[in-house]
Amino acid sequence: MIKANSEYVPYSVRSIYPALAILALAAAVYFWSQSFGEVARRLPALVALTLFVLALMDLWTRTKLPGSELMRAFWGADFTRREMTHNPALKTELGLMAWIGGCFVGMALFGILPTMPLFCVLFTRIRSRRPLKQALIVGLIVLGFETFVFELMLDYELYRGLLFADGGLSNW
Amino acid sequence: MSKFLIKGAVAVAMLAAGPALAEFPLEDKVTLVVPYSAGGGFDTIARIFAPAVEVALGTTVVPDNIPGASGTRGGQAVSRADADGYTIGIYNIPGLNVAEILGRELGFDLSSVTWIANLAQSKYGIAVVADSPIQTVQDLCNLDHSIKLSDTGTNSTSSITAVIAFNIMGCSIVNVTGYSGSNDTMIAVMRGEVDATLKPISSLAKYIESGDLRLIATLTEETVVEGVQNAADLGYPELAQFGLSRVIGGPADMPAEIVATLSAAFQIAAASEEVMAWAESTGTELNWLNAEDTTAMMAEISEFYLQYEDLLK
Amino acid sequence: MGFDALFSAGYEIVAGGSFLYLLAGVLLGLCFGVIPGLGGTTALALLIPVTYNMDPLAAMYLAGGVMGATSFGGSITAILLNTPGTAPNAATTFDGYPLAQQGKAGLAIGASAAASALGGLIGLFTLLLFIPLAKQIVLSFGPSEFFLLTVLGLTAIAVSVRGKLLRGLIAGCVGLIFAFVGADAISGELRFTGGVGYLWDGIPLVPTLTGMFAISQMIELALKGGSVADAEATPGSMKVTGVWAGVKSVFTHWPVLLRGSFIGTIIGAIPGLGGTVASFLAYSSTVQTDKDPDSYGKGNIKGVIAPEAANNAKDGGSLIPTIAFGIPGSAETALFLGILVLHGIDPGPAILLYHEREIYGLIVALTLSAVGASLLGLLLSRYLILITKVDVGVVVPVVVAISLTGVYVLDGRMADVILTLVMGVIGYLMIRFDYPRLTLVIALVLGETAEKSLHQVQLISDNQVLAYMFDRPISVILIVATVLTFLLPMVRQVMARRKMSPM
């Protein structure tokens, strides 16, 4: 599991920006919670403050300030046991999310039954570059599963898509 | 309302329903929207009624769960549907009225819903733990601290009823809300965290029968249990106005014949053997009302809760 | 008396036609448990209309089969794809997924199946012993205990995410903030909804779980390429080995099994949250009492056995509130009771008195189903494990497609699908920047109860929260357990450092 390159931690992961983003979230939640009534704001404000302090610690461990070494050791805040050891390019990451986003758009417009098998076929063929035959088999399995289990066995009507269902967006 | 009046109204509805029955439910299925997830109280009563209504109507009736946004999403779906009788819904009354008074955006206009029939109504009772020294509501009010009551949500019907009812009686309460279901609120009484709870009599009944709780008052016109105070005994007859209703309604401006047909079908269903047997075994209080009476009841309920607008906010 | 009813219920299943319904339930439950995005709650919700025309007992065996089988199904994906089916399955990912990555999925599945089956049996027998005390057990857990239980659960998880305490706590706080979204349980005030009606009832759990685990894991896998199991670890073969070694490992590590089952039954009896807290507590206590805590999280088989045993033992415990008062102990039991009401059986405090047949039938169905699902899982494991050896380029689209469908099916809402995708992206960012997703999800599960029970204690105790808690023995036990859970790893760490540092 641990490969040779796992010791290398990319700059974006080590940098102070993740901690800053959380710091901003904590501050936003704290100020938002001040608009609620006394009972409703008590815990959100408390948790936001705790998060703020923890994010400051996180920030500290990411710097070279005095004591940061000690903080890292105390909180176990180093990056020795990372879940994801590879470091894909931003373009690849966005490309993959576009695929999944595309799947959602298809689902929303044309409904679940046609979109899901089509997505599987296209993804397997184009993104994963598998043979067309394999892609078609995967698509057929998904189509068969969704039709058999939901539509036939449980008599459940899967979403038909904005183009074919009544009610439009308000039914979401 | 006198029994004679109800009988008359039924007869009129049946007369009107006669010819309409032939034309309204043609081929389409009737969708009965349930604004909560499968398995809850509203879902159950809808599913119990559906097959019986199906027989009476001669067409398929399919309960459709559209949960979300505190039960308003289902109401929105009904209000958007065509007013042709093929989409109707079940409504939580007075929960929705109170939400509207509190200024929540329901996403549909409660006053423009076409009311079709009332299916069931529960009245409230007040219960304490079985071995409690408290015998009457008066004892409860004379405690050396504010009465602690257990409830589900602040905006739940029973919680609203408790706030208004004890205000009418001039007793101060602390409503401990947040319990996850009406059963949990009764168990809270048994654990001794709270002094009493105000809940539908049918829910309390199970725990009273099992000897865990004791009823000290019912918010009803007539005496329900011998020796237990009713609203009049308490000196506040208006307390009998509180109740929890399960009402059938449809989109705005439904044609009168279709409403009459549907209403009659629900009446036949309410009197059917299966539904009666189910109601008997689960302690559900069936209370069928025709469209006209349901509409009148809805107007009364809105007006009643509007009086207490300031108290609720 | 309990055992008589148990035997007659068992006889009824085997002799009558109910066995087929039970089997159908097990198959459906296993299938729904394995598929990310679907789960026991979805399966039961979809079954409600189907069971309407059935005989009440047949409906019950079908539902019981589903309930008993989904939890093992959820563990299979937790091991193979790092995608737990339900929140209680999440603790299995700690050591199950590393094993799968090393090509030892067979070992993990075997251990999980055996631990589930045995844990289920142990849970059942403890349940039978405790039935006479059911009412007292339920009555001794009030808001004070619920609040402390959530704190204990969160602590157990924070220390379980080994070596990531700080970022684990941060993720936990974010999870709590997510839990605060929607109408406040006490005042009813809407919070953090930004005018979106969808958020009134809070951030729903199933879409969050699916997005955080299934979708984000698929993004990570697709970007990595290859297959789940390291090709170097299992050179060029599609063979599945180690299943029986996994089964045997459960017997070698029987103290781990017993402790897991014990924690599962005790904590699982607490209505609502017991299951989730139980499996994490079983895991963290196993790690803390082991001689070599550092071997966990890297594929220690004991880290699979403990949560799996707790997970199925809790199914027995979660019936205690149902037996005592007819109230649900979990989302699944709530739907199960809904099915009973539909058939004219009114669950209440006298349920055991009037409906002994149904309750014992359910107990037997749950047990048979847990054992049956494990056997079935072992038989099918060969094919299931192949998933870890197939190119992720094929696995990813299928899992994405099926899990998005599953999320839609739960309530028929496209908004749930959108939330799933949003959570998928957040989850991916968390993997990327090394913040543990588990603490976030579990904090979301426990957050609402934590907040409302704390406020309830305040109201009940007239603001004397601490005095009220210290007056209640079970609360004190929970406080002590929390302190121990938090301090033990720190003490060990300090001792280890002292040993290592030059004198």
In tens, the pLDDT along A14-72 reads 889 999 999 999 999 999 999 998 888 999 999 999 999 999 999 999 988 888 888 88
CA distance A66 to chain C (A): 18
What are the distances in angstroms from CA C347 to CA B46, B181, C56, C57?
A: 18, 13, 14, 15
Contact map slice: A 153-172 vs B, CB within 8 A: 167, 170-171
Question: Which tokens in the block code for residue C308?
Answer: 């799996």
Mutate to test the interface with A, among B29, B80, B106 (most CBs of A within 10 A): B80
C108-161 tens-digit pLDDT:
999 999 999 999 888 888 888 888 888 888 888 899 999 999 998 888 888 887
Lowest pLDDT segment from A29-33, B88-92, C79-83, C360-364? C360-364
**Residue pairs spanning A and B at CB distance below 8 A:** 5
Percentage of residues of chain B with pLDDT beyond 90: 45
Q: Please name the helix (run of DSSP H) or strand (run of DSSP E) that holds residue B288, with its range, or none.
A: strand B286-289
Say yes or no to pLDDT of B104 above 50: yes
Question: Which tokens in the block code for residue C406?
Answer: 């599953």
Confidence of residue C399 (pLDDT cuts 50, 70, 90): very high
Residue B146 near residue B173 (C-beta atoms within 8 A): yes
Do B297 and B203 fall into the same domain? no
Do B145 and B230 fall into the same domain? yes
| Bridge pairing between strands B197-200 and B124-129 | antiparallel
Do B118 and B256 fall into the same domain? yes
Say yes or no to pLDDT of B139 above 80: yes
Confidence of residue B23 (pLDDT cuts 50, 70, 90): low
> Alpha helices, DSSP H only, in B60-192?
72-80, 95-101, 137-141, 157-168, 182-191
Say yes or no to pLDDT of A167 above 80: no
Say yes or no to pLDDT of B18 above 70: no
Do B164 and B270 fall into the same domain? no
**How many other CB atoms sit within 10 Å of the CB of residue A50?**
16
Q: Which single residue is written with the structure tokens 């009168």?
A: B256
Question: Which tokens in the block code for residue A128?
Answer: 């994963």
Q: Interface partners of B (3+ CB pairs, < 8 Å)?
A: A, C
- DSSP class per residue in B24-37: SS-SSPEEEEESS-
Contact map slice: C 453-472 vs B, CB within 8 A: 453, 455-456, 459-460, 462
CA distance C173 to chain A (A): 6
Contact check, Cβ <8 Å, B43/C460: no
Instruction: Kindly state whether C198 is in contact with chain B, defined as any CB-CB distance less than 8 angstroms.
Output: yes
Residues of C in contact with A25 (CB under 8 A): 174, 177
Say yes or no to pLDDT of B267 above 90: yes
Mutate to test the interface with B, among A39, A42, A157, A170 (most CBs of B within 10 A): A170
pLDDT at B3: 44
Question: Which tokens in the block code for residue C424?
Answer: 């998928």
CA distance B34 to chain A (A): 14
Confidence of residue A122 (pLDDT cuts 50, 70, 90): very high
C278-318 tens-digit pLDDT:
888 899 889 888 888 888 888 999 999 999 999 888 877 77
SS3 C87: helix
Q: Which single residue is written with the structure tokens 């699979």?
A: C304
Contact check, Cβ <8 Å, C184/A83: no
How much is the mean pLDDT over chain B?
A: 86
Say yes or no to pLDDT of C320 above 90: no
Contact check, Cβ <8 Å, A51/C177: yes
**C-alpha span between B230 and B217 (Å, rounded):** 6
A94-112 tens-digit pLDDT:
999 999 999 999 999 999 9
Say yes or no to pLDDT of C186 above 90: no
Contact check, Cβ <8 Å, A124/C394: yes
Do B230 and B134 fall into the same domain? yes
Contact check, Cβ <8 Å, C50/A36: no
Say yes or no to pLDDT of C263 above 80: yes
Do B12 and B107 fall into the same domain? yes
SS3 C194: coil
Contact check, Cβ <8 Å, C335/B105: no
Query: What residues have CB less than 8 Å from C136, skipping those under 6 apart?
Result: none
Q: Which residue of A has its CA nearest to C415?
A: A172
SS3 B77: helix
**C-alpha span between C287 and C489 (Å, rounded):** 9
Nearest by CB to A1, from C230, C400, C432: name it. C230
Residue C319 near residue C362 (C-beta atoms within 8 A): yes
Question: Which tokens in the block code for residue C332?
Answer: 């699944």
For chain A, how many helices (H) and strands (E)? Answer: 7, 0
End residue of a domain, out of B241, B266, B298: B241
Angle between helices C356-385 and C105-130 (to 10 degrees): 170
pLDDT at B127: 95
**How many other CB atoms sit within 10 Å of the CB of residue B66?**
23
Residues of B in contact with C200 (CB under 8 A): 68-70
Contact check, Cβ <8 Å, C425/A96: no
pLDDT at A56: 93
What is the average per-residue pLDDT within C368-390? Answer: 87
**C-alpha span between C446 and C272 (Å, rounded):** 10
What is the average per-residue pLDDT within C218-234? Answer: 79
**C-alpha span between C328 and C325 (Å, rounded):** 9
Contact map slice: C 331-390 vs B, CB within 8 A: 334-335, 337-339, 341-342, 344-346, 348-350
Q: Which residue of C has its CA nearest to A129?
A: C393
> Alpha helices, DSSP H only, in C296-330?
302-317, 320-325
Say yes or no to pLDDT of B2 above 70: no
Which amino acid is it at C57?
Answer: L
Say yes or no to pLDDT of B1 above 60: no
Residues of A in contact with B77 (CB under 8 A): 167, 171
Do B223 and B148 fall into the same domain? yes
**What backbone phi and psi angles, to 5 degrees, belong to C344?**
80, 15
Q: Which single residue is written with the structure tokens 């309990």?
A: C2
Question: Which tokens in the block code for residue A90?
Answer: 């931003």
Of C422, C436, C215, C432, residue with least CA distance to A88: C432
A3-19 tens-digit pLDDT:
444 457 888 888 899 99
| Bridge pairing between strands B173-176 and B147-150 | parallel
CA distance C139 to chain B (A): 6
Give, in degrees to the nearest 5, the angle at Cα A45 between A42 and A49.
140
CA distance C186 to chain B (A): 5
The dihedral through the CA atoms of B289, B294, B298, B304 has a sign that is negative
CA distance C108 to chain B (A): 36
**What backbone phi and psi angles, to 5 degrees, belong to B173?**
-130, 155
> Domain holding B271: CATH number?
3.40.190.150
pLDDT at C293: 83
**C-alpha span between C57 and B281 (Å, rounded):** 17
Residue B37 near residue B43 (C-beta atoms within 8 A): yes
User: For chain A, how big is the Rg over CA atoms in Å?
Assistant: 24
- DSSP class per residue in C272-284: TTHHHHHHHHHHH
**How many other CB atoms sit within 10 Å of the CB of residue A45?**
17
Q: Which residue of B has its CA nearest to A166?
A: B81
Q: Hey, which residues does B93 pair with through a beta bridge?
A: B245
Of C319, C323, C379, C372, residue with least CA distance to C68: C372
**What backbone phi and psi angles, to 5 degrees, belong to C397?**
-60, -35
**Residue pairs spanning B and C at CB distance below 8 A:** 117
C76-85 tens-digit pLDDT:
999 999 988 8
Contact map slice: A 107-146 vs C, CB within 8 A: 107-108, 112, 116-117, 119-120, 123-124, 127-130, 134, 138, 141-142, 145-146
Residues of C in contact with B47 (CB under 8 A): 48-49, 52, 342
CA distance C460 to chain B (A): 6
Query: What residues have CB less than 8 Å from C271, skipping those under 6 apart?
Result: C138, C141, C318, C321, C327, C328, C329, C330
Contact check, Cβ <8 Å, A81/C297: yes
**How many other CB atoms sit within 10 Å of the CB of residue C46?**
22
Contact check, Cβ <8 Å, C163/A81: yes
Contact check, Cβ <8 Å, C411/B65: yes
Do B227 and B205 fall into the same domain? yes
Sequence length of chain B is 313
Mutate to test the interface with A, among C35, C174, C405, C438 (most CBs of A within 10 A): C405
pLDDT at A120: 95
**C-alpha span between C117 and C375 (Å, rounded):** 8
Query: How many structural domains compose chain C?
Result: 1
Say yes or no to pLDDT of C188 above 90: no
pLDDT at A2: 39
What is the average per-residue pLDDT within B264-279? Answer: 91
pLDDT at C238: 53
Q: Who wins on pLDDT, A78 or B150?
A: B150
Contact check, Cβ <8 Å, A54/C433: no
> Domain holding B205: CATH number?
3.40.190.10
Do B196 and B55 fall into the same domain? no
Instruction: Kindly state whether A170 is in contact with chain C, defined as any CB-CB distance less than 8 angstroms.
Output: no
Percentage of residues of chain C with pLDDT beyond 70: 94
CA distance C195 to chain A (A): 14
Question: Which tokens in the block code for residue A49?
Answer: 């403050």
Say yes or no to pLDDT of C475 above 90: yes
| Bridge pairing between strands B30-34 and B87-93 | parallel
pLDDT at C416: 93
Nearest by CB to A92, from C102, C215, C223: name it. C223
Sequence length of chain C is 503
Strands (DSSP E) contained in B162-222 are 173-176, 197-200, 213-218
Say yes or no to pLDDT of C172 above 90: yes
Query: What residues have CB less than 8 Å from B187, skipping those under 6 apart?
Result: C138, C139, C325, C327
Residues of C in contact with A146 (CB under 8 A): 402, 405
Confidence of residue B225 (pLDDT cuts 50, 70, 90): confident
Q: Who wins on pLDDT, C495 or C369?
A: C369
Contact check, Cβ <8 Å, A167/B76: no
Do B112 and B249 fall into the same domain? yes
Do B117 and B251 fall into the same domain? yes
Lowest pLDDT segment from B214-218, C237-241, C344-348? C237-241
Angle between helices C302-317 and C356-385 (to 10 degrees): 160
Of A146, B285, B43, residue with least CA distance to C52: B43
A136-157 tens-digit pLDDT:
999 999 999 999 888 887 778 8
Query: How many structural domains compose chain B?
Result: 2
Of B130, B103, B44, B76, residue with least CA distance to B249: B76
Which amino acid is it at C267?
Answer: I
Highest mean pLDDT among B120-134, B149-163, C154-168: B120-134
**Residue C433 burial (C-beta neighbours within 10 Å; 0-12, 13-18, 19+):** buried
pLDDT at C271: 67
Domain limits for position C250: 2-500
Q: Which residue of A has its CA nearest to B81?
A: A167
Say yes or no to pLDDT of C203 above 60: yes
Say yes or no to pLDDT of C500 above 70: no
Of C279, C290, C260, residue with least CA distance to C488: C290
**Residue C251 burial (C-beta neighbours within 10 Å; 0-12, 13-18, 19+):** exposed
B26-68 tens-digit pLDDT:
667 899 999 887 767 788 889 889 999 989 988 888 888 888 7
Domain limits for position B149: 124-241
CA distance B154 to chain A (A): 12
What are the distances in angstroms from CA C294 to CA B99, C477, C489?
A: 54, 28, 11
User: For chain B, how big is the Rg over CA atoms in Å?
Assistant: 20
Do B98 and B182 fall into the same domain? no
What torsion do the CA atoms of B166, B168, B170, B176 make, to the nearest 10 degrees? 20
Q: Interface partners of A (3+ CB pairs, < 8 Å)?
A: B, C
Say yes or no to pLDDT of C192 above 50: yes
Contact check, Cβ <8 Å, C197/B73: yes
CA distance A155 to chain B (A): 12
Phi-psi region of B181 (alpha: psi -120 to 50; beta: other; left: phi over 0): beta
CA distance B83 to chain A (A): 14
Helix, strand, coil: what percent of chain A each, to 5? 70, 0, 30
Taking every pair of C-alpha atoms in chain B, what is the biggest distance, in angstroms? 65
